[in-house]
Amino acid sequence: MTLSDIQTKTGKFTIAACDQRASLATMLGVDPMSESGKSTLERVKTVFMETFSPICSGVLVDPEFGMPSLEKKGRSGLLLTLEKPPYSSFNPDDIPDLYDDGLYGKVGPFAGNGTAAAKILLWYNPLSKNAELKQQLIQELYKQAQSAHTPFLLEILLHPLEKKFRSSEEAFKLQLETVHTFANQCDVLKLEAPALPSEPLDIPAFEKRCTQITQEMKKHSGTKTTPWILLTRGTAYERFLLALQLAMKHGASGFAAGRAVWKEFAEFPTEEEQFKFIRTVARKRMEKLIEIVV
């Protein structure tokens, strides 16, 4: 498998992120460890797949609840997540727990059969006690991906050392340092919008930060610049729409969108209404994001 298998014809990324597990179970009010909860999550992910895979360049799923959805996969490329979700206690400074290769079966990203790209979510702060260990983990995984000829996507969620970041400027300084560290340790870097979601979007500052990210990627990627894409992290759709428009003008190469596109579906009382929302409203939202990228 090559990177082009999860790109558009113009080399951009329009990825439907459908690998939510713990957060999706919470939204739906189900126990993911129960048979009924597992069945619910599998049905939802199947609807995600049949709705988004015909229009997106790639669809990201998990090996835990997403495998049945592969029967409905359209022309888009496949990405599989490597990290297990925190179903109980969660500390963002912890080293991520990875799935056993056995769960992947024949579509494992490191299986060597070229059927899926690999993605890992990493909670990170360059000043945290486990920062170096996390760097070592990513270096090792990237080596494995290269050996298996597997595209490797690294998703970074920045976390504060205390309760919250004091300002967008503080958070962005750490984000830029993080970009510096990982620009040459993946094939695609998946980043949060460089602005705190709790603050109004300062457009001039946002555009400047996107330009700085792009420049940092060019400086530290090596011989070939690693592309960066925007993740939604459950932000409001309209805000993400604007953020994507700005980011694309200043060097981003696309998006991986999940909850911002479809999160309201869980508010509907019946599964029929939920699935109708995904197939209509959520699909139209995804199509609009794709228009911005391509």
What letter represents residue 146's amino acid?
A: Q
Q: pTM here?
A: 0.95
Q: Which pLDDT does position 86 carry in this prediction? A: 84
Q: Which pLDDT does position 103 carry in this prediction? A: 64
Q: Which pLDDT does position 112 carry in this prediction? A: 64
Q: Which pLDDT does position 218 carry in this prediction? A: 93
Q: What is the dihedral of CA 20, 23, 27, 33, to 10 degrees?
A: 90
Report phi then psi at 35, rounded to 5.
Answer: -65, -40
Report phi then psi at 229, rounded to 5.
Answer: -130, 165
Q: Which pLDDT does position 116 carry in this prediction? A: 93
Q: Which pLDDT does position 102 carry in this prediction? A: 62
Q: Which pLDDT does position 222 carry in this prediction? A: 76
Query: Is residue 141 within 8 Å of residue 109, measured between CB atoms?
Result: no
Q: Which pLDDT does position 27 carry in this prediction? A: 95
Q: How many domains does the chain have?
A: 1
Q: Which domain holds residue 7?
A: 3-293
Q: Which pLDDT does position 175 carry in this prediction? A: 97
Tell me how far apart the alpha carbons of residues 207 and 189 are, in angstroms, rounded to a whole number: 18
Tell me how far apart the alpha carbons of residues 133 and 83 are, in angstroms, rounded to a whole number: 16
Tell me the three state secondary structure of residue 291.
Answer: helix
Tell me how far apart the alpha carbons of residues 118 and 108 are, in angstroms, rounded to a whole number: 8
Tell me the three state secondary structure of residue 154.
Answer: strand
The residue length of the chain stands at 294
- The strand ranges marked E within 28-72 are 58-61
- Other C-beta atoms closer than 10 Å to the C-beta of 4 total 12
**Tokens representing residue 20 in the block:** 């939510």
Residue 36 maps to which CATH number?
3.20.20.70
6, with CB counted inside 10 A (0-12, 13-18, 19+), is buried
Tell me how far apart the alpha carbons of residues 118 and 136 are, in angstroms, rounded to a whole number: 17
Ordered mean pLDDT values, 10 residues apiece, the chain (294 residues) = 95 97 95 96 98 97 94 94 88 91 71 83 96 97 93 96 88 96 97 92 96 95 90 93 98 97 96 98 98 96
Tell me the three state secondary structure of residue 276.
Answer: helix
Q: Which pLDDT does position 89 carry in this prediction? A: 80
**Tokens representing residue 95 in the block:** 């080293």
**Tokens representing residue 141 in the block:** 């995984």
- Other C-beta atoms closer than 10 Å to the C-beta of 169 total 11
